[in-house]
Amino acid sequence: MSNIVIIGTQWGDEGKGKIVDLLAEDADIVVRFQGGNNAGHTLVVNGEQTICHVIPSGTLQGKTCFIGNGVVVDPAVLIEELDYLSSKGIDVGPDRVKISERAHVIMPYHKQLDLAREKKKGDKKIGTTGRGIGPCYEDKATRRGIRFVELLDPEVFSEKVKSILEEKNFYLENYLSVEKVDPDSVITQYNRFAQRLAPHVANISVEITEAIKAGKQVLFEGAQGTHLDIDHGTYPYVTSSNTVSANACCGSGIGPKYITGVNGIVKAYTTRVGKGPFPTELFDEVGKSIQKKGAEFGATTGRKRRCGWLDTVIVRNAVRLNGLTGLIITKMDVLCGLETIKICTGYECNGEILDDFPADLKILAACKPIYESLPGWSEDISKIRKIGDLPRNAIEYLNRIVELTQTPINIISVGPGREETIVVKNPFI
Ligand code: GDP
Ligand code: IMO
Ligand code: MG
């Protein structure tokens, strides 16, 4: 029996949703373990697109989906997503979608704080998604957060909201110069959310562990990417949770002994939304054409994604940080038509070659990517289903990724559709 973690190796939007939906066929349970509705995971099945922000990408395969304790949940967004999936005829009833009683709740003041702080920072902003993610994790760490278990207890909830808002409102009004939040209207609104979501709330840790012991297979779906990790990413231009594979255990309440494999998704080039360092970013026509061909717009905020060449320094970093057992390469079809494809093999910094990804953003800013050029291909590869049928140059590009990362490739994605995929080795088998 296998329990697999799927993680983004870059700065998010690597195609986790597509791959999790595909692999969910072999899973019994799909679990999100961190992040919140800052994520936007796109699934394309029979030509129809579905975007999920907080519900794991296993619903279209009819699988049970769990939202772990490590996730921060905006109940309004979750309810909207339940209704959206339900309107598509997908079963998202309380037996299918369960939320950990320990997951923290995103409150209206979290969103207000996120947006107002970003505005105040001006040029120095992080470029957050404005969904209240950072302020919610901040309250979790400082023990002022509200978990689902408290949301479901009207008395405790009301008391908490009132006392928290004394401090938050002072800060919102006097420091950030934005409107205060009215506790009574928040309490009324969230009591309604609680009633609607109560049947979905469960002890996820117990349910996953029991399922694993009964021989079920679990797929853990990461959000964001390794270089947006709060500890290991390009701090402070990161999100507020640990995005690396180890958090699959912490964020869902299971022991590491149950994880049998970790697959890292690598987009065949690199993208980033929001601010922060990006050594292989392209500012020329090639970058623009990748952005256009890859339809690189944020699935959550609609912002244009910054585009650049594949950076194997960061992929190697992701191999180490996540203990990757395999790679999944996505969006290979987007590179078709380029005469030459560049791949970054290392960084040069003040005359020295760097082997490791630097923590110091000043050093990172001084790094110049060292590129290798490989010949491209012009054939449309989106209908190819066997690796051997790919153009020779595409195979050489993939082989070079394997050499540079010392990690095997399990899957190659050649289009957004579930079927537009070459499975070299199913990670579940
Ligand atoms: P996630 O956040 O990692 O789930 O990725 P997103 O859904 O935000 O962004 C990935 C985008 O690329 C989505 O629009 C997908 O439908 C699309 N996509 C995924 N794999 C492929 C692929 O192999 N080729 C192409 N052309 N598009 C893909
Ligand atoms: P998925 O799961 C890409 C980025 C934001 C910003 C930074 C902090 O779809 O890959 P936050 O709102 O989390 O405080 O913003 O992180 N970011 C993402 N970028 N994909 C995501 O998720 C992201 N989630 C957050 O753009 O730079
Ligand atoms: Mg996304």
Look at residue 405 in the predicted model and tell me its pLDDT: 98
* H/E stretch holding 411: strand 409-413
| Ligand 1 centroid to residue 370 C-alpha, Å | 27
Identify whether 104 is a catalytic site residue.
no
- pLDDT attached to residue 429: 83
From 3.40.440.10, 2.60.120.200, 1.25.40.10, 3.30.70.20, which CATH number describes the 3-98+202-261 domain?
A: 3.40.440.10
How far, in Å, CA of 52 to CA of 300, rounded? 9
pLDDT of residue 301: 86
- β pairing state of 48-52 and 29-32: unpaired
Per-residue pLDDT at 355: 77
Per-residue DSSP letters for 132-188? Answer: SHHHHHHHHHTT---BHHHHT-HHHHHHHHHHHHHHHHHHHHHTS------HHHHHH
104-197, CATH topology level: Adenylosuccinate Synthetase, subunit A; domain 2 (1.10.300)
Burial 216-232 (b: 16+ CB within 10 A, else e): ebbbbbbbbbbbbbbeb
State residue 356's pLDDT score: 86
Ligand 2 atom, smallest distance to 276 CA: 27
The residues spanned by each domain of the chain are 3-98+202-261, 104-197, 266-423
Q: How many CA atoms lie within 13 A of 134 on its CB side?
A: 20
Catalytic residue among 28, 41, 53, 114: 41
Q: Cβ(273)–Cβ(237) under 8 Å?
A: no
Residue 9 Cβ inside 6 Å of ligand 1? The answer reads no
Half-sphere exposure of 207 (CA within 13 A, CB side): 23
Atom 23 in ligand 1: residue holding the nearest Cα: 331
Which residues of the chain fall short of a pLDDT of 50?
none
Q: pTM of the predicted model, to two decimals?
A: 0.98
How far, in Å, CA of 169 to CA of 63, rounded? 42
Identify which ligand lies nearest to the alpha carbon of 51. 1
CA 345 to ligand 2 centroid distance, Å: 25
* Ligand 1: centre distance to CA 221 (Å): 15
Distance 181 CA to ligand 3 centre (A): 30
Confidence (pLDDT) at 71: 98
* Ligand nearest to the Cα of 45, by number: 1
| Nearest ligand 1 atom, CA 43 | 16
Q: Which two tokens stand for residue 270?
A: 């690199």
Question: What fold characterizes domain 266-423?
Answer: Adenylosuccinate Synthetase; Chain A, domain 3 (3.90.170)
Give the residue carrying structure tokens 């585009």: 307
Quote the pLDDT of residue 208: 98
